[in-house]
Amino acid sequence: MKVNKKNILDFPENKLREIFEENDIEGYRSAQVFKSLHQKFVNDFHLINNIPASLRETLSAKYGISYPEVTAAEKSHLTETQKFLFAGENPKDKYEAVFMKEKSRITFCISSQSGCNAGCIFCATGYMGFSANLSAGEIVSQVYSIIERNNEIPTNIVYMGMGEPFLNYRNVIDSLKILTSENGLKIPARKITVSTIGIKGRIRDFADEISKPENKLINNVKLALSLHSTDEGMREKLIPLSRGFGLKEVYEDIVYFYRKTKNKITYEYIWFEGINDTENDIRRIKKLSGMVPCNFNVIPFHPVDNIFDSLKQPQNKAEEKLFRKLKEPNYSLSYKKLNYFIDSLRAESIVANVRSSNGVDISAACGQLALKN
């Protein structure tokens, strides 16, 4: 009979130390073990040679070192982008991560859930539905698995893969502590971004959490809000889970976050030609940009194969126009009009950038993750 052991990769360093001390093991031993696991990527307790053999046996009996299985990997023909499909302990709990390299910048885009609860209609993951929250160990081991395959440490990590991070809040916090630990990868917090659609109360919780003195290593983690429209009704169509927690409340939480952390905000903005790039949109974005220091990442919409069969019947002309845009293929995008939108934002002194579509040919670009290989 198989005995399921707790994955030791789930524990941040402070929690691991508590466990050791509760079991009458010298606290300093936890730092040795943590460093072996999270900096040297040791996957067998018996290979940790700077701790007593008795401790190796104790750990081996109580805990596992569980890495997800890489069941598929694909490389872009256009860029240095790779996509990895992982399978957890439960075979149905699959999730993806993306490796992106642009000059000296190496970004890992990682998942916090298998599937997603949010149901955003422009996102392939949203059509999968929700399968499971990933543990802290499953989150960080995506990073370790990609490092082992490419022999490159990330300069940046973004929680923008599958899932809504704030619907897996505690595990995401623990994973941030692990990735920034001095005895781990030591990823600077300012090089890590957590992206959210804005879950009620969680932006404030996050601001309070990362501002605690004991959490100084994650003080500067960046927050990205998946905004996508400044029109309440349109945003609710794009992000069904946003219903009941309006933009006014989201903006108030964003202001709270900035005042608490002094960390600049990023707004993620999927561009739909003729839908969310009107003069009214530009005026509202200008007003929003004056609330706190921020920048806008404008992302071309990447069409999703199963949208055509999944959308309900439009209820009005606005929905009809949106649904028609969602069903259009890549070649319909007018980059001339996209550039006009960007230029219009910049003319209003808004910091706006077009985010690249790395990995679009392997369904690894923003909104395309859906276990396709």
Q: Is 104 exposed, middle or buried (0-12, 13-18, 19+ CB in 10 A)?
A: exposed
- Which entry of 120, 123, 294, 366 is annotated as an active-site residue? 366
- Which entry of 96, 138, 164, 268 is annotated as an active-site residue? 96
Strand order in the sheet with 69-75: 69-75, 80-87, 94-102, 105-109, 156-159, 192-196, 222-226, 265-271, 294-300, 352-354
Q: Which helix or strand (DSSP H or E) is residue 189 part of?
A: none
CA–CA distance from 48 to each of 24, 27, 28, 149 (Å)?
Answer: 19, 16, 14, 22
Q: Where are the alpha helices (DSSP H) in the chain?
A: 13-22, 27-38, 53-62, 124-128, 136-150, 169-180, 202-211, 232-238, 247-261, 279-289, 307-310, 317-326, 335-347
Q: Which residues contact 52 (CB under 8 A, 6 or more apart)?
A: none
Q: What is the DSSP letter of 78?
A: S
Is 366 an annotated catalytic residue? yes
Q: Which residues contact 317 (CB under 8 A, 6 or more apart)?
A: none
Using an 8 Å Cβ cutoff, are 38 and 178 in contact? yes
Is 109 an annotated catalytic residue? no
Neighbours of 216 (CB within 10 A): 12
Q: Which residues contact 10 (CB under 8 A, 6 or more apart)?
A: 135, 136, 137, 171, 174
Please identify every residue annotated as catalytic: 96, 366
